[in-house]
Chains A and B, each alone.
Chain A
Amino acid sequence: MIEARNLAYYYPGEEEVSLPALSGINLAVHRGEYLALLGPNGSGKTTLLKLFNALLTPSEGEVWVKGISTVDEDKITEVRRYCGMIFQNPDNQLVATTVEEDIAFGLENLALPSAEIKKKVLDVASLLGLDHLLQQPPHLLSGGEKQRVAIAGVLAMQPLCILMDEPTAMLDPAGRRDVIETVGRLNREQDLAVIHVTHFPEEAVFADRVIILNQGSLVTQGPPEIVFNDLKLLHSLGLQGPAAVELAALLRKDGFDLPSQLIHSRELVHSLCSWERKS
């Protein structure tokens, strides 16, 4: 559905071949897939998202979104409709003075008739539980609510994929949970692909696939239980594994016999309990 072929990107002014923001990326995202994208700062995660959304166009290679190349100027709105983007700062992505009008913003850009916009806004609002906030101005919402409004604005466009650039980085724990649960639910129920850039491995353990970027290249990818258990690699990139994996590694060093592919805290608790019962 989204496909990057031999993708490279140089930021303008830095066109030395030695300093690509991204290079040699080959990646295919399938319908309904939940992808987590991790990597140290400056590894090109955000750049990659912007390339998928046609905010940037590739310096080399190409990006295809549902059969449309992102360099096709005429169809750029369509690409952006298929791949909606959620940014880190919830304040700086809400455009309108009420929640209702903000959710409608993208649909207004598609020049749909008013009645259709209204219906879609109401549908999306009830799906995300924003009904009671429709007339509120954005500055009175909590961070989590703001992000949910942003998600609603994207969802109203009936996208195939949501690109999220550290959507929880500026939220409190309640808001963070709120956003993660909302997106997880949409992924399962609406068959929506998600590409989630995050610094929290805990948020990535539920993904279908984890991708690690470093210095503009794809280092590794695979199911979370494989990728996150390669602590040596993660640590060499300055990343941390999920708390359960890190703890399990320390416990193994102390002679605990734990299964090798656990990533969820619950799994760890479970294996520790059964380990205790055995001994």
Chain B
Amino acid sequence: MSRSITLGQYFPGQSMIHCLNPRMKLLSLLLVLVLLFSLQTYVGLATLLLIAIFLIVTTRVPMRYFLRGLRPVLYIAIFALVIYFFFTSGGVVLLRIGFITVESEGVREGIFIILRLISLVFFSLLLTLTTTPLSLTHGLGYFLRPLRYIGLPTEEVAMIMAIALRFIPTLMEESQRLMRAQLSRGADFETGSIFKRAKSLIPLIVPLFVSAFRRADELALAMEARGYRIGATRTRIHEDLIAPRDWAALGMVLGLLVASLVLGL
């Protein structure tokens, strides 16, 4: 059930990428994205895509997880392809349907965009599939840390995000249970106009909210009982250390960026 959300779905493993520090992974992803959009040639893009596939293989996360992540961008890809094929001019005319022509430049650019999109998804998934949502939030929390100086409770926000992640599956299970309960009482979620369907969700949303608040209440109590205090210093079981290999990874990404600029790829 919780499978249906691929982004934020951690696939356990022990690979090099899994073990990298989430902060470094985030930073590296950012650099790779910059690189991705600065690349102008097929050679550069193909190299990057090959690197992505190589890294995917090393993580030992099954390829289908990455392919599944491509599904949501499929429509964007098709749309972009159509636009580029029919509306970009230049090069040789490959196909002529009435007054519409497909020209080689359009095909070239269209495919380029698609490859760029695929690389983008692959690299993003490389981060999210190999990093637990929790360490991801902590990584993000680290970069938000300067905001503490203007009075934002970043530690607490990170805790809130972590708890939200923890409860997504629990609340999804509950919503399914509620839906079945309402269905068994003759509720109808599937037919009628959009307005009618939205309205039929009310008996689902109200109890879900009530229970979420009750859960929040109990959880707050349980956290307090276990010594959690707002504003107190906490440590973490997994120390947020940056190892030499993290620097090496960042170095490699930087190297790629520089190389692409120097070689004019």
Question: Could you tell me which A residues sit within 8 Å of B by CB distance?
Answer: 53, 55, 77, 80-81, 84-85, 87, 89, 91-98, 100-101, 104-114, 117-118, 121, 135, 137-139, 153-154, 157
Residue of B nearest to A153 (CB): B226
Indicate whether A154 sits within 8 Å of B226 (C-beta atoms), given known contacts A93-B219, A96-B134, A139-B170. Answer: yes
Indicate whether A77 sits within 8 Å of B227 (C-beta atoms), given known contacts A87-B221, A114-B237, A114-B239. Answer: yes
Q: Is the CB of B222 within 8 A of A87?
A: yes
Looking at the complex, which one of B132, B134, B232 makes contact with A109 (CB distance below 8 Å)?
A: B232
Give per-residue flags for B196-235: 1 if the beta carbon is below 8 A from chain A beta carbons, else 0.
0000000000000000001100110111111111001111
Q: Is the CB of B222 within 8 A of A93?
A: yes
Residue of B nearest to A104 (CB): B237
Q: Is the CB of A101 within 8 A of B134?
A: yes
Residues of A within 8 A of B236 (CB): 104, 108, 114, 117
Q: Is the CB of B132 within 8 A of A97?
A: yes
Residue of B nearest to A79 (CB): B227
Q: Is the CB of B221 within 8 A of A107?
A: no
The answer to whether B63 has its CB under 8 Å from any CB of chain A is no
Residue of B nearest to A49 (CB): B225
Docked Cα-Cα span, A104 to B162, in Å, equals: 14
Residues of B within 8 A of A121 (CB): 237
Residues of B within 8 A of A110 (CB): 227
Q: Is the CB of B227 within 8 A of A80?
A: yes
Q: Is the CB of A92 within 8 A of B218?
A: yes
Residues of B within 8 A of A89 (CB): 218
Q: Is the CB of B215 within 8 A of A100?
A: no
Shortest CB-to-CB span from B207 to chain A, Å, is 16
The answer to whether B156 has its CB under 8 Å from any CB of chain A is no
Looking at the complex, which one of A84, A100, A112 makes contact with B225 (CB distance below 8 Å)?
A: A84
Residues of B within 8 A of A97 (CB): 132-134, 162, 165-166
Shortest CB-to-CB span from B101 to chain A, Å, is 54
Interface of A is mostly: helix
Looking at the complex, which one of B173, B219, B233 makes contact with A95 (CB distance below 8 Å)?
A: B219
Q: Is the CB of A157 within 8 A of B227?
A: yes
Q: Is the CB of B173 within 8 A of A139?
A: yes
Q: Is the CB of B234 within 8 A of A135?
A: no
Residues of B within 8 A of A77 (CB): 227, 229, 232
Interface residues on chain B, size class: 20 to 34
Docked Cα-Cα span, A113 to B241, in Å, equals: 13
Q: Count how many pairs of residues, one from A and one from B, have CB atoms less than 8 Å apart in the complex.
A: 103
Docked Cα-Cα span, A139 to B167, in Å, equals: 8
The answer to whether B3 has its CB under 8 Å from any CB of chain A is no
Q: Is the CB of A96 within 8 A of B166?
A: yes
Shortest CB-to-CB span from A91 to chain B, Å, is 6
Task: Name 12 extra pairs, CB < 8 A, besides A97-B166, A109-B232, A117-B237.
Answer: A53-B225, A84-B225, A87-B221, A92-B215, A92-B218, A92-B219, A93-B219, A93-B222, A100-B237, A107-B237, A109-B227, A137-B166
Residue of B nearest to A106 (CB): B226
Most-contacted residue by chain A among B162, B166, B170 (CB, 10 A): B166
Shortest CB-to-CB span from B32 to chain A, Å, is 26
Q: Is the CB of B237 within 8 A of A109?
A: no
Q: Is the CB of A109 within 8 A of B239?
A: no
Shortest CB-to-CB span from A63 to chain B, Å, is 15
Give per-residue flags for B221-264: 1 if the beta carbon is below 8 A from chain A beta carbons, else 0.
11111111100111111110000000000000000000000000
Docked Cα-Cα span, A109 to B166, in Å, equals: 18
Residue of A nearest to B217 (CB): A92
Docked Cα-Cα span, A93 to B216, in Å, equals: 10
Docked Cα-Cα span, A100 to B165, in Å, equals: 16
Indicate whether A94 sits within 8 Å of B234 (C-beta atoms), given known contacts A53-B225, A77-B229, A101-B134. Answer: no
Looking at the complex, which one of B162, B173, B232 makes contact with A96 (CB distance below 8 Å)?
A: B162
Residues of A within 8 A of B173 (CB): 139
The answer to whether B265 has its CB under 8 Å from any CB of chain A is no
The answer to whether B12 has its CB under 8 Å from any CB of chain A is yes
Q: Is the CB of A93 within 8 A of B218?
A: yes
Residues of B within 8 A of A154 (CB): 226
Shortest CB-to-CB span from A262 to chain B, Å, is 37
The answer to whether B74 has its CB under 8 Å from any CB of chain A is no
Docked Cα-Cα span, A95 to B214, in Å, equals: 15
Residue of B nearest to A138 (CB): B166
The answer to whether B91 has its CB under 8 Å from any CB of chain A is no
The answer to whether B92 has its CB under 8 Å from any CB of chain A is no
The answer to whether B163 has its CB under 8 Å from any CB of chain A is yes
Residue of B nearest to A100 (CB): B237
Looking at the complex, which one of B132, B170, B223 makes contact with A98 (CB distance below 8 Å)?
A: B132
Indicate whether A91 sits within 8 Å of B227 (C-beta atoms), given known contacts A111-B235, A114-B235, A139-B173. Answer: no
Docked Cα-Cα span, A139 to B234, in Å, equals: 25
Q: Is the CB of B163 within 8 A of A95?
A: yes
Residues of A within 8 A of B233 (CB): 111
Q: Closest 4 CB pairs between A and B?
A: A93-B222, A104-B237, A109-B227, A92-B218
Shortest CB-to-CB span from B233 to chain A, Å, is 5
Q: Is the CB of B234 within 8 A of A108?
A: yes
